[in-house]
């Protein structure tokens, strides 16, 4: 149980409130970390947060290729609008602030970005079009760009930091930093692939999710970069939901640093890269969902034997996003009737007389009605686990999909009731 916040603590920015409380029950015991090749990382305490670094600046050794993926929200933040207008996939620098989303701030929000980007480009001698920006935090508030400008001017006297420090600097309501690292060997070259992410609430992605930055220490053709992202996005970041809310700031950037060279046109090499990137994206996505605001349980919904993958995915999301299902899981109640409801409200064409629902390996309903041989003591024991798997067998096709979510409890309500606006 998390410690109740005092009135003074609740006046702190959303970034820091949870730093004063216990972490997620899935908090990693160890964090992946490294010092990168091909770029340098700098973090600063600029004032968006009261006690922690809140500004991340990454400077690449040379101009490199990026794949930029953004939220499909109809109310995109100023950074997303700015990036789409100015950056076409060539990058020298990334700058990220945490504590203010610079979202729904009108033309003033764009001008704020223009000002601090101008300072940065002069300092590192690059073009405006070679910069990417991101922001995360409270929506609807502007800020004085001098908060960031003053930190940029300190770059030349600042020592670079590691990947874990970078992940910490972009946290808001996150209770732990999110990093992931994989190594592959291509043509006798050891190539590192790694990433950082932030996200805890306002999580139901569409196209990308939260803030995610992934780095491949190799030169890769742009067409192959696009292909590996497209291959892996749907089964990772597009298959999680904390609260069904898509952020105004959701962003994923994939960077190739040119540090090593390898031939990824060879199928074997491409497959190794593709699998490694999938592992990174899956790991980061699961770290985000395991850090969902206020969660006490992780929900995994496997929908199988569906006519189409999209049908399976739609049903999976309907289940993990249902407040009734989420609250039942929180209360350790195997209320399968709510799952039937969540399946039905999708209006997907299924045969309910073929439908089977399991909690873990415990069959609770089949052939259109309750399983009369339910072992209640086994199910009640299962529902006390931290990870609850709900298995749906539709028996009308060969497709499947897995979606992750979490429970809904008083802690989620408390966090968002007290969120500063």
Q: Which residues are catalytic?
A: 209
CB 177 within 8 A of CB 196: yes
Chain-centre distance for alpha carbon 232: 14
Angstrom distances, CA of residue 260 to CA of 193, 254, 415? 11, 16, 44
Phi, psi angle pair for 14, to nearest 5°: -60, -30
Phi, psi angle pair for 6, to nearest 5°: -80, 165
Q: How far apart are CA 321 and CA 250, in angstroms?
A: 19
Chain-centre distance for alpha carbon 381: 31
In 3D, which of 251, 234, 161, 142 has the Cα closest to residue 199? 251
Q: How far apart are CA 49 and CA 417, in angstroms?
A: 20
Residues 324-342 as b/e (b if ≥16 CB within 10 A, e otherwise) read ebbebbbebebbbebbbeb
Q: How far apart are CA 58 and CA 44, in angstroms?
A: 12
Chain-centre distance for alpha carbon 139: 18
DSSP string, 141-157: ----THHHHHHHTTGGG
Under DSSP, the state recorded for 247 is P
CB 23 within 8 A of CB 176: yes
CB 98 within 8 A of CB 172: yes
**Residue 274: enclosing H or E segment and its boundaries?**
helix 267-290
Q: How far apart are CA 284 and CA 287, in angstroms?
A: 5
| Cross-strand bridge partners of residue 392 | 303, 357
Q: How far apart are CA 210 and CA 58, in angstroms?
A: 18
The residue ranges of DSSP E strands in 19-73, in sequence order, are 39-44, 55-70
């Amino acid at each position: 149980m998390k410690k109740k916040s005092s009135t003074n603590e609740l006046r702190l920015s959303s970034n820091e409130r949870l730093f004063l409380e216990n972490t997620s029950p899935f908090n990693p015991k160890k964090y992946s970390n490294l010092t990168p090749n091909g770029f340098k990382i700098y973090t600063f305490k600029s004032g968006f947060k009261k006690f922690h670094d809140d500004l991340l600046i990454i400077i690449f050794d040379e101009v490199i290729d990026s794949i930029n993926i953004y939220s499909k929200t109809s109310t995109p933040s100023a950074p997303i609008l700015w990036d789409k207008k100015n950056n076409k996939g060539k990058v020298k620098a990334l700058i990220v602030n945490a504590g203010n989303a610079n979202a729904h701030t009108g033309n003033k929000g764009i001008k704020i970005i223009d000002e601090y980007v101008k300072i940065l480009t002069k300092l590192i001698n690059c073009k405006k079009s070679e910069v990417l920006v991101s922001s995360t935090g409270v929506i609807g508030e502007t800020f004085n760009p001098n908060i960031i400008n003053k930190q940029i001017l300190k770059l030349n006297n600042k020592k670079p930091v590691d990947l874990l420090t970078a992940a910490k600097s972009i946290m808001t309501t996150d209770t732990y930093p999110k990093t992931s690292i994989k190594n592959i060997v291509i043509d006798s070259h050891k190539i590192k692939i790694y990433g950082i992410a932030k996200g805890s609430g306002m999580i139901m992605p569409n196209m990308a999710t939260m803030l995610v930055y992934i780095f491949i220490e190799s030169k890769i053709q742009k067409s192959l970069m696009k292909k590996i992202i497209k291959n892996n996005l749907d089964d990772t970041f597009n298959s999680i939901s904390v609260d069904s809310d898509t952020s105004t700031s959701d962003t994923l950037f994939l960077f190739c640093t040119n540090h090593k060279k390898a031939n990824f046109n060879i199928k074997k090499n491409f497959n190794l890269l593709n699998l490694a990137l999938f592992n990174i994206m899956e790991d980061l996505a699961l770290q985000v969902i395991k850090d969902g605001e206020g969660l006490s349980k992780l929900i995994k919904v496997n929908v199988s034997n569906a006519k189409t993958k999209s049908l399976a995915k739609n049903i999976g999301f309907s289940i993990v996003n249902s407040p009734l299902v989420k609250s039942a899981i929180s209360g350790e109640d195997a209320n399968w009737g709510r799952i039937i409801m969540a399946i039905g409200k999708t209006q997907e064409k299924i045969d309910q007389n073929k439908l089977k629902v399991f909690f873990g390996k415990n069959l609770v309903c089949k052939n259109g009605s309750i399983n009369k041989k339910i072992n209640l003591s086994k199910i009640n024991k299962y529902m006390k686990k931290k990870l609850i798997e709900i298995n749906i067998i539709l028996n009308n096709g060969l497709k499947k999909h897995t979606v992750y979510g979490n429970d809904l409890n008083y802690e989620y309500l408390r966090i968002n009731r007290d969120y500063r606006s």
